[in-house]
Amino acid sequence: MTPGYDQLVRALKSLPGLGFRSAERIALHLLVEKKEKLGQMVEHLQSAGSSIGPCKSCGNLSEGDECTICLDTDREAETVCVVERVPDLFAIERSSAYCGLYHVLQGKLSPLRGIGPDQLNFSTLKEKVVNGQTNELILALGNDLESEATCNYIQDEIVGNYQVKVSRIGFGLPSGGGVTFADEMTLKNALESRRSMDSN
């Protein structure tokens, strides 16, 4: 094959969820079958890359300082659902079972992978707790050990003695898949049956 083609297939293959065959199919689709789509695709990628960044308040994708969810005055601003990543937020939005705000951690604590509190989006979460704008945190993390450790960190270090209700979903979610791959009904049930983490 030509170096340009090989390079394109390698670039596509480096994307999540794409193996060699899918990468090759997409490359041929854009170069041969639907070449007219290529320019449009490049344009969309460039425009999304330059206009979309993290929301300063919650970490969701945003085209301005704050995302459309944070700016939506119809949502319950005192309730914050904490998720690991943006696709988890999208999954919960699709379930239509939640109408508060979100906070995206951009990962979870993992000593083995060298991810400590400084690598995660904890500072703005702490601000929300400290300045009293939040009275409930719903922790929508997975049910693995790293998520467990992250939940405990939030309860102990972020909430501490502040008067904020902390509850956790994650029960009934598919193990390993977490929030992103749970179907809408499962998420709805998980949100409704969330359990308080407050120590008794």
Q: Which is nearer to Zn ion, 77 or 197 (CB)?
A: 77
Nearest residue to 6 (alpha-carbon basis) of 31, 38, 37: 31
For Zn ion, the closer CB: 55 or 187: 55
Phi-psi region of 19 (alpha: psi -120 to 50; beta: other; left: phi over 0): beta
Could you report how far apart the first and last alpha carbons of the chain are, in Å?
Answer: 66
Does 95 interact with Zn ion (rule: CB under 5 A)? no
Q: At its nearest, how many Å lie between Zn ion and the CB of residue 97?
A: 19
Smaller CB separation from Zn ion, 100 or 174: 100
CA-CA-CA-CA dihedral for 46, 49, 52, 53, to nearest 10: -160
| Residue 58 sits in the site that holds Zn ion (CB under 5 A) | yes
Sign of CA pseudo-dihedral 67, 68, 69, 75: positive
Binding segment toward Zn ion, per CB under 5 A, in 50-58, 78-86, 149-157, 167-175: 50-58
Q: Which is nearer to Zn ion, 88 or 146 (CB)?
A: 88
Q: Which residues bind Zn ion (CB under 5 A)?
A: 55, 57-58, 60, 67, 70
